[in-house]
Structure 1
Amino acid sequence: MIPTLTPYAEPIYFLYLFIALAPIVIHFVSTGKRWKVYPAIVTLIFLYISFGGTHLHQGLALIAYVIFESLLTWLYHVYRVRKNSSWIFYLAVLMALLPLILVKITPFIDGQNSIFGFLGISYLTFKSVQVIMETRDGLIKEFSPLAYIRFLLFFPTISSGPIDRFRRFEKDEENDLEPSEYVEMLGQAVWKIFLGFLYKFILGYFFGQVLLPQIGLIALNKGGLSWALVGYMYCYSMYLFFDFAGYSLFAVGTSYLLGYKTPDNFNKPFSAPNIKEFWNRWHMSLSFWFRDFIYMRLMFMLIKKKVFKSRIVASNVGYFALFIIMGVWHGLTWYYIVYGLYHATLICLNDVWLRFKKKHRQSIPSNWGTKGLATFITFNAVCFSFLIFSGFLNQLFF
């Protein structure tokens, strides 16, 4: 019997993965044509590996979720073709979010995890809401339930992203690849997967499993503010990056093996010279999703309704709303909410600085030294935010 495994968490998972994907790789290199049936079989096998066996309750929740979201999105598409109603749109978005909302609030109501929960529900919900919103915008004109289900259940990214866009995914599905083009993708896939091993299983393990517990114990024993706490901050930041970036490399690399150009999720975030640039490099698919489907739409509404006279005030309100939502999405605890408020404050202050810098650009130097200083300040500001995010301060002071 095939054991239940978390995606990309154990070496045996990769053994199954490479055995299953070998025929697809050989077929692509030989012909450049896409198979329809065999990739679907592979998807079912890996969904069973992740959501079967001891995780069968998650598998059943996933099946119910996909049926619910598919039916909801199809009904919205049919209704929109006939009549484009705003209240139906908002109701559809709310209904698409409902399973995730129940999963997030249930532990705070009865202390139990929701029966609707399964690994990756957040990322599937972001995909579902995206399709409804882009249908409303007229960007998605045709709706195929089977294509939608394949999009939701794309197994390389199902547990933690990256969050792909339906139109981009569908374009890959509809087009074959030249063998030479696929060979180039194959080389990139191998590079990403091997780099993922370095990140997740060597560097992530070293920072997260070797150093972090020891430094954390020292910081707890010392209590309060200490150099050990500073060490914990940097160590946790490195662990968070290498573990998540490593996972993302596995997901993107596996997607490439299947012939899908899933977008990258990280782009040297710690070299960002300001906090906005950091969010353009860190967990990019999530950052861009929140930007496109929450911030930009909220800004459009605030400006259209003339809620605020100043665009700057509207922008700041948008940032705080955005990052509070992001914090609450991570969890209904004070440190996640403070994490969101902290980043919103940083971005608003960054905008103040950029406006000041633009106004006084003649007197403010701009060279490698100032860029290095900006990168250093941004890096430390981000690491402090990850210390808040870790919840370690809750153990230390409360």
Structure 2
Amino acid sequence: MFMIPYETPYYFVFLAILLIPYVVMMLLGKRMVWYQTLITLFFLYISFAGPHIQQGIALILYLIWQTVLIMSYLGYRKRKNSGVVFYLAVVLAILPLAISKIFPILHIADTLFAFLGISYLTFKSVQMIMETRDGLIKEINVFHLLQFLVFFPTISSGPIDRFRRFEKELNAPVERVKYIELLDKGTFYIFLGFLYNFLISYIINWKLMPHLQGNLLLTGSLKDLLLYMYAYGFNLFFNFAGYSLFAVGTSYLLGYETPMNFHYPFRAESIKDFWNRWHMSLSFWFRDYVYMRLTYLMVKKRWFKNRVTVSNLSYLGLFLLMGLWHGLTWYYVAYGLYHATLIIINDAWIRYKKKRKDKLPSNLLTRGLSIFITFHAVMLGFLIFSGILDKLWFK
């Protein structure tokens, strides 16, 4: 028996049956952590068993690796605070993910070091090491650590939670009124996920996209390119947002307020506003643990005197890393550099507006124009991300 999370109706049947006792006990004011552990093990089994048992083995080895690493660094941090040891711990935490990305390209052990959700578990692990270094995490319960890493609603596609927030809810008493609110929201999000994923995304991905892609590869016309661009962008949103809604909704049913991943991204008035609305848990993770730290490092070491230069280089490093995280291909790298360029231009425009003060109009028309421009800049980025240009240029 093997099921990718939220991929088939059978997964939701298992989810509904197994969550009923948990929901009843939560309504009675009792959080059954032991039962949550059992259903977590069950869903991990059906997600990492069967023909993909090697993923299950990789997951177990990965959890051992990260647990030993995190606990070892915690023990070290209580005594010392060497930067060299910290960076070494971060590199070791990222190493399994790096191997899973690089080895397939080299045709070495394509699946031995990879499993479903390795990226999101790595983000969690690196986050814990960094917050331990900062002194925000001073004690770690190993059982809570494992619960956090393999929290089954979010293991395959996020959102990326924070350990301190998760542990606080894990230990918090259950308030019936609060849980009823979560139950209502969670149920709504799951059904909204059905609309996004199993209806809208299904129609676009299986009924519309093959036809549009076929036409584009045949004609290479601008019209077909634009149609494909819009279809791909909307499909990416509804598919990913649907999975995120499933994850958040299931988390709410378990009594955890996992952060939302999307907030009307196509209403964004600037590219920076877009990244505050799109895949928010990833955007905020990269902001907090890459951009801010890279900027702080360059300022502290005085590598550059101009703060604008420091900020721009941090954006380039951030989005280049984000592109490489998606995959080691030219169009993912181009996608990252493209968005870095847009952010740099956006910041330059903000500085220009501050100099002009009230001389630039701000009204419904200009906001609408901003949304229109941002939307198409984002869609062009999705077109690069799709890899279709690789097929057009090198067919």
TM-score greater than 0.5 by the shorter chain: yes
Question: How many angstroms does 1:114 deviate by?
Answer: 4.1
Distance in 1 (alpha carbons) for counterparts of 2:121 and 2:35: 23
Question: How many angstroms does 1:357 deviate by?
Answer: 1.1
Distance in 1 (alpha carbons) for counterparts of 2:250 and 2:392: 40
Match of 1:57 among 41, 54, 59: 54
> Aligned residue for 1:305?
301
Q: Is the 8 A contact 2:230 2:379 kept in 1?
A: yes
Distance in 1 (alpha carbons) for counterparts of 2:191 and 2:216: 34
Distance in 2 (alpha carbons) for counterparts of 1:365 and 1:60: 59
Distance in 2 (alpha carbons) for counterparts of 1:330 and 1:101: 11
Cα deviation code 1:198-228 (max 9, x no counterpart): 00011111111111111111111102x4201
> Aligned residue for 1:323?
319
Secondary structure at the aligned position of 1:110 is classed as: coil
Distance in 1 (alpha carbons) for counterparts of 2:107 and 2:14: 39
Distance in 2 (alpha carbons) for counterparts of 1:209 and 1:315: 42
Match of 1:119 among 116, 124, 130: 116
> Aligned residue for 2:17?
19
- For structure 1, list consecutive stretches of 5 or more residues without a partner in the other structure: none
> Aligned residue for 1:97?
94
Q: Is the 8 A contact 1:102 1:114 kept in 2?
A: no
Question: How many angstroms does 1:36 deviate by?
Answer: 2.1
Cα deviation code 1:353-391 (max 9, x no counterpart): 111111112211000110000000000000000000000
> Aligned residue for 1:247?
243
Match of 1:10 among 8, 11, 24: 8
Distance in 1 (alpha carbons) for counterparts of 2:371 and 2:310: 27
Secondary structure at the aligned position of 1:297 is classed as: helix
> Aligned residue for 1:137?
134
* 1:58 partner letter: Q
Distance in 1 (alpha carbons) for counterparts of 2:231 and 2:173: 44
Cα deviation code 1:262-317 (max 9, x no counterpart): 00000000100000010000000000000000000000011111111110000000
Q: What stretches of structure 1 move > 2 A for 4+ residues in a row? A: none
- For structure 2, list consecutive stretches of 5 or more residues without a partner in the other structure: none
Distance in 1 (alpha carbons) for counterparts of 2:33 and 2:279: 30
Task: Tell me how many residue pairs correspond in the alignment.
Answer: 394
> Aligned residue for 1:183?
180
Q: Is the 8 A contact 1:252 1:264 kept in 2?
A: yes
Q: Is the 8 A contact 2:54 2:111 kept in 1?
A: no
Distance in 1 (alpha carbons) for counterparts of 2:369 and 2:345: 17
1:296-375 matched pairs, under 5 angstroms: 296-375=292-371
Distance in 1 (alpha carbons) for counterparts of 2:108 and 2:224: 33
When normalised by structure 1's length, the TM-score is: 0.98
> Aligned residue for 2:219?
222
Q: Is the 8 A contact 2:291 2:314 kept in 1?
A: yes
* 1:13 partner letter: Y
Distance in 1 (alpha carbons) for counterparts of 2:189 and 2:111: 35
Match of 1:194 among 188, 191, 194: 191
Match of 2:45 among 44, 48, 51: 48
When normalised by structure 2's length, the TM-score is: 0.99
* 1:57 partner letter: Q
Cα deviation code 1:119-164 (max 9, x no counterpart): 0000000000000000000000111111101100100000110000
